[in-house]
Amino acid sequence: MIFTFFSNLVHIINLLTIFYMIFKENRSSKSIISWTLVLFILPYIGLILFLMLGRKVNNKDIFIMKKSELTLFDKHIKKLNNNSNDKFKISNHSDMIKAIESMEYSPYRDNVETKVFFDGKELFNDILESLKKAQKSINIEFYIFKNDDIGSKILDILKEKAKAGVEVRLLYDSVGSRTTNRKKLQSVIDAGVKVGEFFPSLLRLININMNFRNHRKIIVIDNEIGYVGGFNVGDEYLGKDPKFGYWRDTHIKFMGDSVRDLDLRFWADWKYATKEDIDLIHLMDYKNEQAPSKMANYSKCGMQIISSGPNPDNFYEIKLSYLEMIQKAKKYIYIQSPYLILDDSLTDSLKLASISGVDVRIMIPGKGDHPFVYWANLKYAGDLLNFGVKIYHYDKNAFLHSKTLVIDDEVCSIGTANMDTRSFELNFEVIAMLYSDEIAKIQRKQFEKDMLISKELTREEYLKRGTSVKIKESFSKLFSALL
């Protein structure tokens, strides 16, 4: 009797949930169909999964900065140098820059010096040295921050710096860093480091906000040095996990006015996560008295820091920026992403570019890091093959985690956003758009170097795949909205 009542109640709730998705939420048809199947096939487990993974954003003020704050930020950040001296770049991409600037808060800066990292050991050696030299402040924000060997080295430096009077803050995502030992973090807090957790949960393994993940990877040191890209903090990113092997990713270190924009992104996340009463106006009210100095292996570029997150208006800044890049490409489009789960707008843009004569190449991992992902990637890749897009599987003995897009030896993006629906619509992400033929060429040459240890997936080979592969692909694509 009780079980029957409970069962009927669950089915009624599931039915109401489906109607709510259809009539009250602005969802894609793929998402509605996927969740409808889950709620019908697995009514009890499905409802729990929906509460954790399927909820949409209802309160706009929770996820984006208030308009009044943006006005204040804009007022103070515009005091920094925002003039372009490179007429070539502006004349070629002024419409793209203007479109991105109008989305929310992504001002164009032209006095930026940047270095690109493709190797974890090289990157973390540089990060450790920069942290040791910090004099005033250290702001760190990561999706995954493990207190393993590399994580412990960073934490030790943070403790040392905090004791020396440097203002140190560390923000991590509750879901991404769920294996992090909170007890070990207490010693960091005791040393004076301020630690924040994004969307914390009382239950470590069950988090009703786990669908909305802070996927950003940010380091800002002394308001002068910024780091952003695909590397998280963990030993596997140094190639120490035999499951993944060598970890191929892309990250940048930069100096100049865009560092303040990245710092602003950190402060907005920190204020929301910790509720700390911060005088943001005071933080932004300074002059950029020290221009970046030329250092070895640095390239001068224009830059825009672009961030996006869950938005009830379905306005996704990073996805729109990618679409803008794809539509502007005349010669080539090279993309690297661990996930290739595209909506119709991106799929159609890539198809159109390819049949218009643009050389479109996409590189994805030769193995997946999550269930269904490899097969979902393959399904979307197969669709693009029919339109002349070239697909490459990276070395199976390594793992490709790089999130980059480069066009025409002129513009490239490097950041935290994958080429998938989750990154565009559900995760909190940040990327750097770099306007520089030098950096674009560096990124293009690295892509070509990666091709040497990758295997091209041809259309002929794809058409010969077995029935079991086709079933896995179709099943994975059906539920790709949940990945």
* pLDDT score for 395: 96
* pLDDT score for 203: 59
* pLDDT score for 289: 46
Q: Give the active site residue among 89, 215, 251, 390.
A: 215
Please confirm, yes or no, whether 126 is among the known catalytic residues: no
Residue 428, classed as helix, strand or coil, is: strand
Q: List 254's β-bridge partners, or say none.
A: 114, 226
Question: How many residues are there in the chain?
Answer: 483
Backbone dihedral region for residue 388 (phi beyond 0: left; psi -120 to 50: alpha; all else: beta): left
Q: Specify burial of residue 160 (Cβ count, 10 A radius: 0-12, 13-18, 19+).
A: middle
User: What are the residue ranges in the chain where pLDDT is below 50?
Assistant: 61-62, 64-66, 68, 83-84, 87-88, 285, 287, 289-290
Q: Give the active site residue among 110, 408, 409, 450.
A: 408
Question: 447 with 364: CB under 8 angstroms?
Answer: no
Round the CA-based radius of gyration of the chain to a whole number and report it: 22
Q: Give the active site residue among 115, 251, 403, 477.
A: 403
Instruction: Give every CB contact of residue 3 below 8 A, 6+ residues apart in sequence.
Output: none
Residue 198, classed as helix, strand or coil, is: strand
Report CA dihedral (441, 446, 447, 450) to the nearest 10 degrees: 160
Q: Which of 217, 153, 218, 147 is nearest to 180 (CA)?
A: 147
Domains 114-298 and 317-482 share a fold: yes
User: Any long-range contacts for 35-44 (C-beta under 8 Å, 24+ apart)?
Assistant: 35/481, 35/482, 37/478, 37/479, 38/479, 38/482, 39/14, 40/14, 43/7, 43/10, 43/11, 43/14, 44/10
Please confirm, yes or no, whether 217 is among the known catalytic residues: yes
Q: Specify burial of residue 430 (Cβ count, 10 A radius: 0-12, 13-18, 19+).
A: buried
Q: Give the active site residue among 115, 367, 401, 472.
A: 401
Q: Give the active site residue among 89, 159, 217, 477.
A: 217
**On the CB side of 367, how many CA atoms lie within 13 Å of its CA?**
12
Domain locations in the chain? 2-56, 114-298, 317-482
Please confirm, yes or no, whether 401 is among the known catalytic residues: yes
CATH superfamily of 317-482: Endonuclease Chain A (3.30.870.10)
Please confirm, yes or no, whether 222 is among the known catalytic residues: yes
* pLDDT score for 207: 53
The reported pTM is 0.88
CATH topology of domain 114-298: Endonuclease; Chain A (3.30.870)
How far is C-alpha 67 from the geometric centre of its chain's CA atoms?
23
| DSSP annotation string for 96-161 | HHHHHHHHSS---EEEEEEEEEEEHHHHHHHHHHHHHT-SSEEEEEES-B--SHHHHHHHHHHHHH
CA distances from 396 to 189, 208, 235, 242 (A): 40, 35, 19, 12
Please confirm, yes or no, whether 408 is among the known catalytic residues: yes
Q: Which of 432, 36, 387, 390 is nearest to 255 (CA)?
A: 432
Question: 105 with 260: CB under 8 angstroms?
Answer: no
Pairing relation of β-strands 218-221 and 137-142?
antiparallel
Q: Give the active site residue among 156, 222, 383, 437.
A: 222
Please confirm, yes or no, whether 395 is among the known catalytic residues: no
What is d(CA 465, CA 461) in angstroms, rounded to the nearest whole number?
7
